[in-house]
Amino acid sequence: MTASVYESALSRITGVRGVRGAMMVSLSDGLVVAEQLMEGIKGAAVAALAASLANRLGRAMEGGGVGRGVFWHLQAERGALLAVPARAGLLVVAVAEPGVNAGLVRLELLRAAESVS
Amino acid sequence: MTARAVEGWTLEPLTAFVQEAGARLVLLMTPAGQVLAQSGFTRAVDVMSAAALGAAIFASTTEIARQLGEPPFAGLAHQGERHGIFLAAVSTERGPVVALAVYDLEVTSLGLVQLFFEQLATDLKSASPKGGEAKQVLAADFERELSDSLNTLFGR
């Protein structure tokens, strides 16, 4: 897997109108693997907290007997966090504006997850 | 989890760090291995070992950095199967403070520990009393100082 694969996967996500940044995060340690973020977004903080959240949500979903999570969308007052787990132990994360087309972002996140698996 | 401090100003930043980062064991010490505060340790002998080993690792990596012509490394991380170790230093008004954190991989992650270490560094800088570095312990006083510190840390 080369860095350009990550870069092109992230570029497709950040190409969606309203997306302020995208990143590949290592799920096990919450560290940034690759990122394309607008200024002002704290990549390390988003990575650590999103991975922690994804791990806990994953455990809750397994505990609830609903299987592995495939897409998370957290809507906040001033934006949204969208994430898709990829097979290689990665989490693909997008930080977006509140009015973003979540369906389109989801599609690009799933494509990105597929491309790095 | 109980945190105890020899230097009182370290207690609040340490407690916040432990809660936020979810670290299992944390030791704050000088680069020479003098313990300033601890959280999670139950035996004095473990604190002594961890402080000695942490100080040795810090000294080794600082020397490697010096030989490479680099400033001291910002942080050092080791990851095992179930636990991880994070070691990093922060400059304060009382001199450099080395933090050693041991975390459970089921509970937290290196990313979270690093993230909240930044906050710990900021908190320690602002909490450290002005007025020079902490006095260095002389060899002659070492045992008494160590004994006093351990008594404070374990509430004896």
Q: Which runs of E-coded beta strand occur in B10-137?
A: 23-29, 35-39, 75-79, 83-92, 95-104
Query: Residue B109 and residue A45: Cβ atoms within 8 Å?
Result: no
Question: pLDDT tens digits for B14-55?
Answer: 999 999 999 999 999 999 999 999 999 988 889 999 999 999
Token pair for A23: 């990143």
* Domains parsed from chain B with CATH numbers: 3-153 (3.30.450.30)
Using the beta-carbon criterion (under 8 Å), do A52 and B114 form an inter-chain contact?
no
Task: Pick left, alpha or beta for residue B95 (phi over 0 → left; psi -120 to 50 → alpha; otherwise beta).
Answer: left
A49 touches chain B (CB under 8 A): yes
- Tell me which residue range forms the domain holding A91: 3-115
Nearest to A72, CA basis, from A46, A53, A99: A53
Interchain CB contact of A96 with B (< 8 Å):
no
Angle at A99 between CA A93 and CA A100, to 5 degrees: 40
Higher pLDDT: B89 or A1? It is B89
For tokens 């002998």, what's the residue? B45
Residue B146's closest CA among B30, B20, B25, B10? B30
Question: What CATH number does the domain containing A34 carry?
Answer: 3.30.450.30
Tens-place pLDDT, residues A48-71? 999 999 999 988 998 999 988 899
**Interface membership of B91 toward A (CB under 8 Å):** no
**Predicted ipTM?**
0.81
Q: pLDDT for B124-147, tens place per residue?
A: 999 998 876 666 655 666 667 777
CB contact under 8 A, A30 and B79: no
Total of domains in chain A: 1
Residue B18, CA distances (Å) to A44, B55, B98 in order: 19, 20, 15
